[in-house]
Amino acid sequence: MSNDRVTSTPFTKGLGFFVLLGIALLIILGIFVSPADVNQGESVRIMYAHVPGAWLAYLAFVMTAVSSAAYLWKRTRSLTWDRIAGASAEVGVLFMGISLVTGSLWGRLTWGTYWTWDARLTTTAFLFVTYIGYLAVRGLGGTHQQRARRSAVLALLAVLEIPLVHFSVELWNTLHQEASVAGRGTDVEMNGLMLFTLFLGVVVFTLMYVWLVLHRQRSLMLEDMLEDSGLDSALSERRAEATQAGR
């Protein structure tokens, strides 16, 4: 009975219900109801999954940076901020990966190629790898405080790194000016229903982000507690052994 309520509360249950409803509505509107685009044709339907996913990934990374700063600032220092940063980065990496896949599928249909070296795409790939590294650093071990401090500094360094990478890739790219990718025309002319579907996607994905981060943050807390209690019991065992040996 209590098993069902490990990390969920009435709030997350309600939220989860709305998210599932929203996803169903998004699929119906995105694949069946909304019209094909004048330029892109049917392939525009990928947009309703891709754009909200990319939005969510960026949102997650901003949240990671903000909570890392909150951890490093002495007045708000709390491991909760660290866990929010970690949960958010994990969700961000997931959605960055997803939107890289959906983006290249979409690019194949509209530009005729899976990948182009423009600054936005390249920076996105760098973001993906950088936060995979961030997650690896979180898994390095040590005390919770050590992990929190290390990863918070790293998250803030990423904030420094990403604009630099974007800027330098942009410079690199303007030098090249290779033949622009041929395609069916990439402009999307949005009508009301298309805009609404896209907007719905962004809202649903944002709610999904909240649900995922809440649950992940709580499960991280459980794991931290488990580690602490494991340490505690190991320590008390050692102490018991020591006193036994002393006698």
CB of 240 to another protein, least distance (A): 19
Tell which positions 19-48 bind another protein, by CB under 8 A.
23, 27, 30-31, 41-43, 45-46
Distance of CA 40 to the CA centre of its chain: 28
CB of 161 to another protein, least distance (A): 5
Residue 107, Cβ neighbours under 10 Å: how many?
A: 21
Q: Are 48 and 204 in contact (CB under 8 A)?
A: no
**Sign of the C-alpha dihedral, residues 218, 222, 223, 224?**
positive
**Which range binds another protein by CB under 8 A, 60-68, 106-114, 185-193, 238-246?**
106-114
Is residue 17 a contact residue for another protein (CB under 8 A)? no
Classified as helix, coil or strand, 241 is: helix
Q: What angle do CA 163, 166, 168 make, to 5 degrees?
A: 105
Which residue's CB is nearer to another protein, number 33 or number 101? 101
Instruction: Please give the single-letter amino acid code of residue 152.
Output: A
Instruction: Look at residues 1, 23, 3 and name the one whose alpha carbon lies nearest to residue 212.
Output: 23
**Which range binds another protein by CB under 8 A, 57-65, 99-107, 185-193, 234-242?**
99-107
Is residue 137 a contact residue for another protein (CB under 8 A)? yes
CA–CA distance, 119 with 169 (Å, rounded to integer): 5
The footprint of another protein (CB under 8 A) covers: 2-3, 5-7, 9, 23, 27, 30-31, 41-43, 45-46, 49-50, 53, 72, 91, 94, 97-98, 101-102, 105-106, 108-109, 126, 129-130, 132-133, 136-137, 140-143, 145-146, 149-150, 153-154, 156-157, 160-161, 164-165, 167-169, 171-172, 175, 208, 212, 215-216, 218-219, 221-223, 225-226, 229
